[in-house]
């Protein structure tokens, strides 16, 4: 087994119009209130942009974003910290596929040369996801 661990948390999902500066506007209330974004993913399609965040204080971040006028969806998410080496993502996603866990979203935070990295998984079954990843 690899040296890995999982943490159950949640992500915040904000969907906005796809326009220049949208990510800066969404993150402003978090920065102004010293909430760290631990990992995130952003993407756009057509006229919309989506931002997925795991923060140092999701409860406060959700309150701030809602107060700023954003519709915020909170989704159970598993953070998996694993060795930063080739094949680890394949091991994780292969194991989840074998367990019939559907991955809705996944994004990572790692720097080249770091001994480990963290991958966020939002899935159809967070408990099964954590159990499966803990066995890798």
Instruction: Give the CATH H-level superfamily of domain 11-73.
Output: VC0802-like (3.30.2130.10)
Interval 15-23 mean pLDDT: 97
Task: Give 2's pLDDT tier (boundaries 50, 70, 90).
Answer: low
Can you tell me whether residue 36 is helix, strand or coil?
Answer: coil
Closest CA to 51 of 79, 80, 30: 30
CATH fit for domain 76-134, picks 3.30.70.260, 1.10.10.10, 3.30.70.3420, 3.40.50.620: 3.30.70.260
pLDDT tens digit sequence for 25-72: 999 999 999 999 999 999 999 999 999 999 999 999 999 999 999 999
Contacts of 40 (CB under 8 A, 6+ apart): 51, 52, 53, 54, 107
Whole-structure pTM value: 0.92
């Amino acid at each position: 087994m690899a040296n890995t661990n999982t943490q159950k948390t949640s992500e915040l999902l904000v969907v906005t119009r796809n326009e220049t500066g949208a990510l800066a506007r969404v993150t402003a209330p978090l920065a102004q209130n010293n909430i760290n974004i631990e990992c995130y993913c952003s993407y756009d399609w057509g006229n919309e942009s989506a931002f997925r965040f795991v923060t140092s204080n999701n409860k406060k971040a959700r309150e701030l974003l809602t107060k700023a006028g954003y519709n915020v969806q909170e989704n159970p998410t598993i953070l998996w910290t694993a060795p930063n080496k080739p094949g680890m993502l394949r091991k994780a996603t292969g194991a989840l596929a074998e367990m019939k866990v559907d991955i809705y979203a996944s994004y990572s935070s790692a720097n080249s040369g770091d001994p480990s990295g963290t991958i966020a998984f939002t899935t159809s079954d967070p408990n099964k996801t954590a159990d499966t990843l803990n066995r890798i």
